[in-house]
Every structure is written in C-alpha cells, then in structure tokens.
Structure 1
Amino acid sequence: MIIGILQFELIIHDAQSLKDKRRVVRSVKDRLHREHLVSIAEIAAQDNPSVAVLGLACVGADGRRIGQTLDRIVDKLRAVRDAELGAMRRELLHGRADDDHDQSDKTADVDNLTRQMLSELNGETSA
C-alpha cells in the first residue's frame, strides 16, 4: 500500500473576504476530488482570506501511479486561474499490505505476555 500526501499553499490575490477565499478553495477541492478521487481538506490559515493551506492524500498499490497522480495534481494547481501555487510538500509513505494478517500473531503475543505477567505476580518462576 502506498499513500501519497501533498501539502500545498494557495495564494489568493483577489480575495477580499473569507467568502471569496471559500469560493476558490471549494472550487479547487471539488475539482481535485472529482477528477482524481483524492481526499482533500483545508488544514491551516483558515482565518486568512489571501492564503489557503490544503492537504490531500491518495492511496494505491503502485507508487509510480501515485506519483503520476500527484504530478498531474500539481500541474492543475499551477494552472488555477484565481490562485497562485505557493509552498508545497510531497511525500510517499509505504505501508505493508499484510498488516491485517499479522493481527493473530499480535494477539498471541499479547496472550503470552499476559500469562507471563500473571505467573510472575502469583510468585511462579519461569524456567
């Protein structure tokens, strides 16, 4: 499992109010979600009408495909009419697809540890 994360800043030059900013941010969020099936949210600078800081994430099995998706998103952000792309940070996280299958091993480990602790509390020694 690969998780692609993009954190970016949009500078909204013509925004005079939070309502103006909200219009631009909502448009960008809706378009990226619709076209790329990513999760996206405003994560900072909510009270500043001229700056929006957003974060988005996408999940997939192929790191190359996730990277290409993030590249296309950045290209679209650079082309936004009502805002300028500012600072940006991109990251790919690699997870293990078999994490759920290891749950039974973790349960067995917890059970063994519990038995050992109980036996020590009862004064039994382990050899």
Structure 2
Amino acid sequence: MTDSAPASSSPASSSPVSGGPAAWLTLPEVAERIDLPVNKVNQLIRDRALLAVRRDGALRVPAELVANRTVLKHLPGVLTLLHDAGYNDEEALRWLYEPDDTLPGVPADALGTGRATEVKRRAQALGF
C-alpha cells in the first residue's frame, strides 16, 4: 500500500529533506486510507489541511501524516502557520522532518503525540 520514493527534491525545489518520511502514499492510497474520493483529498491539499509534494512525477503524501484513517489532527493548523511564515510545501516538509533533539525526534512525529502544542508553538514563532 505504501510506495517508497527517494527523498530527493524535484528540480524546482532546493535541497532534499534530511531524514524525510519513512514512506510515501499516492493520492489514491490516501483516499483509500481515509475513505474519501480522490477529489476530496485534492481539496484537503488545496485547503492546506494535508501536505503533498511531487516525488517521481506524482503528488505524494508522507504516510505518517495520515494516521488512524484520518489526517493528523494538528497538521492543518501547523501547515497554516508554516505557510503564513512564508514556507512553501517543500520547505514545510523539510521543517516537519528536520530532527529536533528537544522534542525529541521530528515535528511530524510529535504531531501525533501530546507534544503537538509545542510543535504549533514553534511553527508560530517562525512568523516573527
């Protein structure tokens, strides 16, 4: 069900994600996992409630951002904060997967735990 893709960036983006997601999902796989039509998944991406980037010529979503048959609860808020701070999708992905010893781990992993408030606080601070 998951499709592993290299963490290399597309030609239009800058440097690759350091650690990166463990697995990638295509949009049809996301749709199946959260039981929505693909056009609704595309709407989630347009609304910045879900993050997708091009890998191997197709939009893909980090598998960790879709858990328990839904998008991680705090992801849309964090994506809004990152975009308000001027981050594009590739930069937001990089930020979510940049190792942070004080969390510990990466912000994307912390979103699914009790540390989501701290991740949102850090994302909000980027705008100042």
With structure 2 as the length reference, what TM-score do the two structures score?
0.25
Larger strand share, 1 or 2: 1
Determine which structure has more spread, i.e. the larger CA radius of gyration: 1
Which fold has the larger relative contact order, with Cα–Cα distance below 8 Å and residues 6 or more apart in sequence? 1
Please identify which structure carries the higher helix content.
Answer: 1
